[in-house]
Homo-oligomer: A and B are copies of this chain.
Amino acid sequence: MKSFILVLVVAFAVAAIVLPITRPTVAASPRATPETLEQLEAEFMKAAAQKGSQGYMSYYADDAVEVPNGAPLIQGKSEIAKGMGFLDDKNNSLLWMPLGADISSSGDLGYTYGTFEFHSKDNDGKPVVQHGKYTSIWKRQKDGSWKVVLDMGNASPEPK
């Protein structure tokens, strides 16, 4: 009987050692939080400001979907990139600010939403600003990086 108890004690000791090793690997990497996504958005905006459309598109997943206001839905990064050349014009700049974010308990899918300003110049060279809102959905990719899988924009009233 005593040796059976010894077997059980050692068994649970081994189980205690084996258990943490077999837990899902997601716990091994730093856990993404809503703040992770807000930080990503700051990097995303910086990339667009510094490298134009190329910097902007580097944050898009290959299978991303763009849901533009007043235009049809666009499927796929390469198709979306065709309409982003305006970010390479030095008269234009796109600025955005997340107002909120959330992430799944598995830390592999999340979203941000907020407001944006698009600064450009009219035909007379006068600066104009368009105001809008956005939602971006972020998904952790197989290589561990986070990419935008859906981006949608719409219009806000002009500030008074």
Which residues of A line the B interface, CB within 8 A? 3, 6-8, 10-15, 18-19, 22, 24, 26, 65, 67-73, 99-100, 102-106, 108-111, 113, 115, 133, 135, 137, 139, 149-150, 152-157
Chain B residues with CB under 8 A of A11 = 7, 10-11, 13-15
Q: Are A150 and B133 in contact (CB under 8 A)?
A: no
Q: How far is the CA of A3 from the CA of B153 in the complex (A)?
A: 68
A18 to chain B, nearest CB (A): 5
A-B contact pairs, 10 of them (CB 8 A): A7-B7, A7-B10, A11-B14, A14-B15, A15-B15, A73-B115, A73-B133, A104-B106, A152-B152, A154-B154
Q: Which residue of B lies closest to A106 (CB)?
A: B106
Copies of this chain, tallied across the complex: 2
Contact of A70 among B105, B149, B155 (CB under 8 A): B155
Q: Which residue of B lies closest to A103 (CB)?
A: B109
A120 to chain B, nearest CB (A): 20
Q: Are A137 and B154 in contact (CB under 8 A)?
A: no
Q: In this complex, which of A70, A104, A110 has the most chain B Cβ atoms within 10 angstroms of its Cβ?
A: A104
Q: Are B65 and A100 in contact (CB under 8 A)?
A: yes
A5 to chain B, nearest CB (A): 11
Chain B residues with CB under 8 A of A149 = 102
Q: How far is the CA of A15 from the CA of B8 in the complex (A)?
A: 11
